Amino acid sequence: MAGKIKRQPVIKRGNRGTLGVLGKTHRSKSRTPAKRINPHDRNMDYKKREQLNASIAKLEKEELSNWTDAKTPLEVKGKKKELKRLRAKMSLKMNKKN
């Protein structure tokens, strides 16, 4: 008859904290998982998406008019970059899995 099977301590270096000198691995205690309430408000998602769509539409309208409202080439470059960033943000939102 063989001896008892026991858990092997995992030897660790550095500060061992509450795990003792040998650095035994932490063993989780059995407990009933509490269901957390999701405080996420979905209406805010739709509002933010509408705002994002509005800002994209505004910049696209300026793009179609060949950036006539912009005074400097640097401003044109900034608006192009902003439009690209907003489009990427919208595509991420559309592809996100909830």
Between 39 and 75, the higher pLDDT residue:
75
* Contact between 56 and 87 (Cβ < 8 Å): yes
Q: What distance in Å separates the CA atoms of residue 10 and residue 19, rounded to the nearest whole number? A: 10
| pLDDT of res. 94 | 86
Of 25-29, 36-40, 73-77, the range with the highest mean pLDDT is: 73-77
User: How many CA atoms does the CB half-sphere of 67 hold within 13 Å?
Assistant: 13
32-43 CB burial, b ≥16 within 10 A, e <16 = eeeeeeeeeeee
Q: Which pLDDT tens digit goes with each residue over 47-96?
A: 989 999 999 999 999 999 999 988 999 999 999 999 999 999 999 988 87
Query: Model confidence at 98, in pLDDT bands (50, 70, 90)?
Result: low
Q: What distance in Å separates the CA atoms of residue 15 and residue 8, rounded to the nearest whole number? A: 19
